[in-house]
Amino acid sequence: MSGPVLLTGAGGRIGTVLRGGLPERGWALRSLDVAPLTDVRPGEEEVVADVTDLAAVLDAVAGASAVVHLAGVSGESTWPVISHANIEGTYCALEAARRAGVERVVLASSNHATGYTPRPDGGLLREVDAPPRPDTYYGVSKVAMEALGSLYADRYGMDVVCLRIGSAFPEPTTVRMLATWLSPGDQVGLVDAALRAPSPGFAVVWGVSANTRNWWDLTAARALGYEPADDAEVFAEALVEAHGAPDPADPVHRLVGGQYTLPEFDAEHFS
């Protein structure tokens, strides 16, 4: 693999973790964000650009070996904001990669693409059993992301890996996150696997750690080479004591999207 990985949204929460961990695994980074980075690392290239500016992304992707696309609005907002940043932005990332001959793109999708899916009643939910069922405009943008990725894989033969990320935080802060946590170390491991997997074609995989309380099946992610190292259970006692045990009748615990499925995420709250 020659050329750096173009990392969009590099200054955000996950981008900052990846900028810490991917170089140790041999990946040189070209880090793009609309906001200047405050902590450019040795050997890191920086690009300040808007990912919805196709010409700018085309410049940024020249000579790259792959794209990891994180940039966008990372929670619910108005339709104009979400559709522009997340759908137009994903189109620009994929189209720039295609025009530059970059054959692999890793996309930061979300569990909210399937948020109204009921959690399995025992057992594990596979990606193929969770078709699009978005819980918000944000979730719709992740469905569009996966659809665009599928199009570019089928039509142009690109490798496109969509990571349906759970909760990427330093540590779990709610009892729901005991099932959805993706630890910082496992964020790096998952993206590394998505970049390295031989010829994955189009793939959609859940992005969580090896949590004791997982309801997502990690078989497809492991098939890429992902070996999760962390388990949120070490935080369980303190979180359950602070917040109470999860109530399976509560939509926050009954549906994949958790609190995003509640009325407080209705559109009028974001106008």
Ligand X SMILES: NC(=O)c1ccc[n+]([C@@H]2O[C@H](COP(=O)([O-])OP(=O)(O)OC[C@H]3O[C@@H](n4cnc5c(N)ncnc54)[C@H](O)[C@@H]3O)[C@@H](O)[C@H]2O)c1
Tokens 């609309």 appear where? 34
Copy the structure tokens of residue 60.
């940024």
Binding to ligand X (CB under 6 A) within 54-73 occurs at 70-72
Quote the least distance from Cβ 237 to ligand X, whole Å: 23
* Position among 33, 127, 186, 217 found at the interface with ligand X (CB under 6 A): 33
Residue 70 phi, psi dihedral angles, 5° rounding? -110, -20
- Candidates 10-18, 98-106, 209-217, 238-246; binding stretch for ligand X (CB under 6 A): 10-18
Distances, alpha carbon 166 to alpha carbons 34, 76, 100, 160, in Å: 24, 15, 31, 19
**Rule CB under 6 A: is residue 50 a binding residue for ligand X?**
yes
**Rule CB under 6 A: is residue 130 a binding residue for ligand X?**
no
Roughly what angle, to the nearest 10 degrees, separates helices 137-156 and 89-100? Answer: 20
* Position among 5, 6, 15, 184 found at the interface with ligand X (CB under 6 A): 15
Query: For the CA atoms of 169, 122, 189, 57, what is the dihedral angle to 10 degrees?
Result: -70
Copy the structure tokens of residue 258.
């958790």
**Rule CB under 6 A: is residue 148 a binding residue for ligand X?**
no
Which amino acid belongs to residue 39?
Answer: D
* Position among 13, 133, 196, 254 found at the interface with ligand X (CB under 6 A): 13
- Candidates 9-17, 128-136, 211-219, 230-238; binding stretch for ligand X (CB under 6 A): 9-17
138 a catalytic residue: yes
Copy the structure tokens of residue 70.
């994180």
* Position among 68, 91, 106, 110 found at the interface with ligand X (CB under 6 A): 110
Environment class of 2 (CB within 10 Å of its CB; exposed 0-12, middle 13-18, buried 19+)? exposed
Which x/- pattern over 159-188 shows residues binding ligand X (rule: CB under 6 A)?
------x-xx--------------------
- Residue nearer to ligand X on the CB measure, 110 or 214: 110
